Structure 1
Amino acid sequence: MFCTIVAFAQVTTSNIKGLILDETQQPLPGVNVVAIHTPTGTVYGSATNFDGRFNLLNLRVGGPYKITLSYVGYKEQIFNEIYLTLGKTEEIDFAMVPDSQQLDAVVLTGTSSTGTFGADRTGAETNVGRRELTRLPTISRSASDFTRLEPTASNGSFGGRNDQYNNFSLDGAIFTNPFGLDAATPGGQTDSQPISLDAIEQITVSTAPYDVTQSGFTGAAVNAVTKSGTNEFHGTVYGFFRNEDLTGGKVSGEDVVKPKLEQNQYGFSIGGPIIKNKLFFFANFEKDERTDLGTNGFIPNTGSGAVNESRVLEQDLITVQNALLDIGYNPGAYEGFTYGAKSNKGIFKLDWNINETNRLAVIYNYLNASKEKPAHPSALGFRGPSVNTLQFQNSGYEINNNIRSVQLELNSTLSDEASNKFQIGYTHFDDFRNPLSTPAPTITITKDGSNYIIAGHEPFSINNKLDQKVLQFSDNLNFFKGDHTFTIGLSFEKFQFDNSFNLGAYGARGVFFPTTTMSDFQNLVDSGQLQDLFDAANAAHNSLTANGEGVAGGFTLSETNVGQMSFYAQDEWNVNEKFKLTYGVRFDKPLYFDSAEKAQEVIDRGFVVPDIEYYNPNTGERVLIDNTQLPSNQWLISPRLGFNYDVKGDKTFQVRGGSGLFTGRFPFVWLGNQIANPDVFFLQAVDPDYKFPQVWRTNIGTDYKLENGIILTGDVSYTRDTNGAHVQNWGYCHHRQA
Structure 2
Amino acid sequence: MRSVLRFLASGLLTSFLFVTVAFGQGAQTGGLTGVVTDTQGAVVSGATVNVINESTGKSERSVTTEADGGYSVTLLPPGSYRLEITAKNFKQSDVTGVQVAINQTIRQDVTLSVGSVSERVEITATPSMINPVSPVMGQAINAQTLQALPLASPNFLFLLNLSSGVTSEPTDVRTAGRGTADVNVNGNRTSNNSLQIEGVNVNDFNLAHFDTVPLPNPDTIQEFKVATSLYDASTGSKGGGAIGLVLRSGSKDFHYDVYWSHRNDALNATEWFFNANGKKKGRLLQNVFGGSGSGPIPKVGGYWFFNWQGVRARNGIDPNGSSTAPIVQNIPTNADGTTSAALLAPVFGLTAAQIDPVAVNILNLKDSRYGGTFLVPRSGQAGCKSAATATGTFTCQFSSIAPIRDNQYLISYDRDMRHGKDKISGRWFWDEGSVAKPFGTDTSLTNPRLDTQWNRFLSITETHIFSSTKVNELRAGYSRFLFANIPTDTHTVAEIGSVRGNSDQFPGMYRVSVTGSFSIGTGVNDDRGTISNQYNLVDTFSMVTAFGDPARNFIATDYAAFAQDDYRFSSRLTFNLGLRLESMSFGRDKLYRAGIYDPSLAARGLNPFLFPANANLSGFTGTPGISDCALASCRDNNWAPRVGFAWDIKGNQKTVLRGGYGLYFQRLSNQNILQNSLAAPFTVQPLDNRSIPATFQLANPLAGIPPPSAVATAFIPTATRFAGLFNATTSTVNGIPSNGISTNPADVNNPAFKPIFIDAAGRRCLGYADINTNIGATDCSINLASFTSADLNTYTPYTQQYNLTLQHDFKGWVVEVGYVGSHFVGGIGIWDPYLATLVSPSSPITLRDANGVAYTLTTNTVNNEELRHQILGLSRKKGARYSSNIGFSIYNSLQTTVSRRLQKGLYFQAAYTFSKTIDNVSGSLSTDELNATRNGQNGANIYNNQANVQQNKARGDFDRPHRLVVSYTYDLPFGRGRHYLSHLSPAMNKILGDWSISGITTYQSGLPFSVTDSTSGGLYGTSLGTATLSGTCIGANSMYTTGSTTDIITHYLNPACFTTAPNLPNSAGASITGWGDTPRNAFRAPFQQNWDFSLIKGFTIREKHVFQLRADFFNLFNHPIFSTPNAVNIGTLSSFTQITQTAVPARLIQFALKYSF
* Band the TM-score falls in, shorter-chain normalisation: 0.7 to 0.9
Alignment deviations for residues 140-198 of structure 1 (CA, whole Å, 9 cap, x no partner)? 122133221112322322223222211112222233323117x52426xxxxx721111
Identity percentage of aligned residues? 17
Q: Partner residue of 1:141?
A: 154
- The question of whether the paired residues in 1 share the 8 Å contact of 2:411 and 2:429 is answered with yes
Cα pair distance change 1:412/1:356, threshold 3 Å:
same
Instruction: Write out aligned runs for 1:566-645 (5 A).
Output: 566-591=560-585, 595=588, 598-599=591-592, 602=593, 614=599, 623-626=608-611, 628=628, 629-630=630-631, 631-645=633-647
Q: Partner residue of 2:302?
A: 279
Q: TM-score, normalised by structure 1?
A: 0.75
Cα pair distance change 1:67/1:690, threshold 3 Å:
same
Determine helix, strand or coil for the equivalent of 2:210.
coil
1:661 has 2:663 as partner: yes
Aligned partner of 1:457 among 519, 522, 534: 522
Structure 1 residue 518, shift from structure 2 partner: 5.4
Structure 1 residue 271, shift from structure 2 partner: 0.9
Determine helix, strand or coil for the equivalent of 1:217.
coil
Report the Cα distance in structure 2 between the residues aligned to 1:655 and 1:165, rounded to whole angstroms.
27
Instruction: Write out aligned runs for 1:323-722 (5 A).
Output: 323=360, 325=362, 332-333=369-370, 335-354=398-417, 355-373=419-437, 383-384=441-442, 389=443, 391-392=444-445, 394-437=446-489, 438=492, 439-447=508-516, 452-458=517-523, 521-522=537-538, 555-591=549-585, 595=588, 598-599=591-592, 602=593, 614=599, 623-626=608-611, 628=628, 629-630=630-631, 631-675=633-677, 677-679=679-681, 680=784, 683-707=787-811, 709-722=812-825
Counterpart of 2:420, as a letter, is: E
Q: Partner residue of 2:1052?
A: none
> Which structure shows the higher strand fraction?
1
Cα pair distance change 1:248/1:67, threshold 3 Å:
same
1:230 has 2:293 as partner: no
Structure 1 residue 460, shift from structure 2 partner: 8.5
Structure 1 residue 663, shift from structure 2 partner: 1.7
Counterpart of 1:672, as a letter, is: L
Counterpart of 2:475, as a letter, is: Q
Determine helix, strand or coil for the equivalent of 2:165.
coil
Counterpart of 2:473, as a letter, is: K
Structure 1 residue 434, shift from structure 2 partner: 0.8
Structure 1 residue 569, shift from structure 2 partner: 0.5
1:12 has 2:28 as partner: yes
Q: Partner residue of 1:470?
A: none
Cα pair distance change 1:31/1:229, threshold 3 Å:
same
Structure 1 residue 682, shift from structure 2 partner: 6.1
- The question of whether the paired residues in 1 share the 8 Å contact of 2:49 and 2:64 is answered with yes
Q: Partner residue of 1:109?
A: 124
Counterpart of 1:186, as a letter, is: T
Counterpart of 1:223, as a letter, is: G
Instruction: Write out aligned runs for 1:169-180 (5 A).
Output: 169-180=196-207
Cα pair distance change 1:423/1:724, threshold 3 Å:
same
Deviating more after overlay: 408-417 vs 315-324: 315-324
Report the Cα distance in structure 1 between the residues aligned to 2:153 and 2:99, rounded to whole angstroms.
29
Determine helix, strand or coil for the equivalent of 1:674.
helix
Q: Partner residue of 2:1094?
A: none
Cα pair distance change 1:246/1:436, threshold 3 Å:
same
Deviating more after overlay: 436-445 vs 661-670: 436-445
Structure 1 residue 584, shift from structure 2 partner: 0.9
Deviating more after overlay: 265-274 vs 665-674: 665-674
Q: TM-score, normalised by structure 2?
A: 0.49
Cα pair distance change 1:712/1:621, threshold 3 Å:
farther
Report the Cα distance in structure 2 between the residues aligned to 1:372 and 1:646, rounded to whole angstroms.
55
Structure 1 residue 557, shift from structure 2 partner: 1.6
Counterpart of 2:121, as a letter, is: V
- The question of whether the paired residues in 1 share the 8 Å contact of 2:134 and 2:576 is answered with no
Structure 1 residue 590, shift from structure 2 partner: 1.6
Structure 1 residue 676, shift from structure 2 partner: 5.8
Structure 1 residue 459, shift from structure 2 partner: 5.2
Aligned partner of 1:215 among 221, 233, 236: 236
Q: Partner residue of 2:748?
A: none
Structure 1: tracts of 5 or more residues without a match: 188-192, 300-307, 377-382, 462-516, 541-552
Deviating more after overlay: 44-53 vs 210-219: 44-53
Cα pair distance change 1:621/1:215, threshold 3 Å:
farther
- The question of whether the paired residues in 2 share the 8 Å contact of 1:120 and 1:580 is answered with yes
Determine helix, strand or coil for the equivalent of 1:671.
helix
Structure 1 residue 237, shift from structure 2 partner: 0.8
Cα pair distance change 1:667/1:330, threshold 3 Å:
farther
Q: Partner residue of 2:289?
A: 266
Report the Cα distance in structure 2 between the residues aligned to 1:205 and 1:444, rounded to whole angstroms.
46
Structure 2: tracts of 5 or more residues without a match: 16-25, 169-181, 340-359, 371-376, 378-397, 493-507, 527-533, 613-627, 682-783, 836-868, 879-1157
Determine helix, strand or coil for the equivalent of 1:635.
strand
1:723 has 2:863 as partner: no
What is the RMSD of the two structures over their aligned residues, measured on CA atoms? 3.8
Structure 1 residue 375, shift from structure 2 partner: 6.5
Cα pair distance change 1:518/1:229, threshold 3 Å:
closer
Structure 1 residue 117, shift from structure 2 partner: 0.4
Deviating more after overlay: 70-79 vs 612-621: 612-621
Report the Cα distance in structure 1 between the residues aligned to 2:146 and 2:797, rounded to whole angstroms.
33
Number of aligned residue pairs: give it. 617
Structure 1 residue 664, shift from structure 2 partner: 2.2
- The question of whether the paired residues in 2 share the 8 Å contact of 1:231 and 1:277 is answered with no
Counterpart of 1:581, as a letter, is: F
Report the Cα distance in structure 2 between the residues aligned to 1:460 and 1:241, rounded to whole angstroms.
27
Determine helix, strand or coil for the equivalent of 2:672.
helix
Report the Cα distance in structure 2 between the residues aligned to 1:316 and 1:369, rounded to whole angstroms.
40
Report the Cα distance in structure 2 between the residues aligned to 1:256 and 1:326, rounded to whole angstroms.
30
Cα pair distance change 1:321/1:399, threshold 3 Å:
farther
Aligned partner of 1:39 among 52, 55, 77: 55
Structure 1 residue 316, shift from structure 2 partner: 6.1
Counterpart of 2:654, as a letter, is: T
Report the Cα distance in structure 2 between the residues aligned to 1:698 and 1:565, rounded to whole angstroms.
25
Aligned partner of 2:313 among 285, 290, 299: 290
Alignment deviations for residues 369-409 of structure 1 (CA, whole Å, 9 cap, x no partner)? 11123676xxxxxx42xxxx4x33x4342221112221101
1:60 has 2:77 as partner: yes
Cα pair distance change 1:554/1:622, threshold 3 Å:
closer
Alignment deviations for residues 669-708 of structure 1 (CA, whole Å, 9 cap, x no partner)? 222332464533665543343222210010111122235x
Report the Cα distance in structure 2 between the residues aligned to 1:719 and 1:407, rounded to whole angstroms.
33
Q: Partner residue of 2:1090?
A: none
Alignment deviations for residues 583-642 of structure 1 (CA, whole Å, 9 cap, x no partner)? 11101112469x37531xx36xxxx8x9x7646999999954345423452310110111
- The question of whether the paired residues in 2 share the 8 Å contact of 1:331 and 1:456 is answered with no
Larger gyration radius, structure 1 or structure 2: 2
Determine helix, strand or coil for the equivalent of 2:564.
strand
Cα pair distance change 1:167/1:616, threshold 3 Å:
farther
Q: Partner residue of 1:466?
A: none
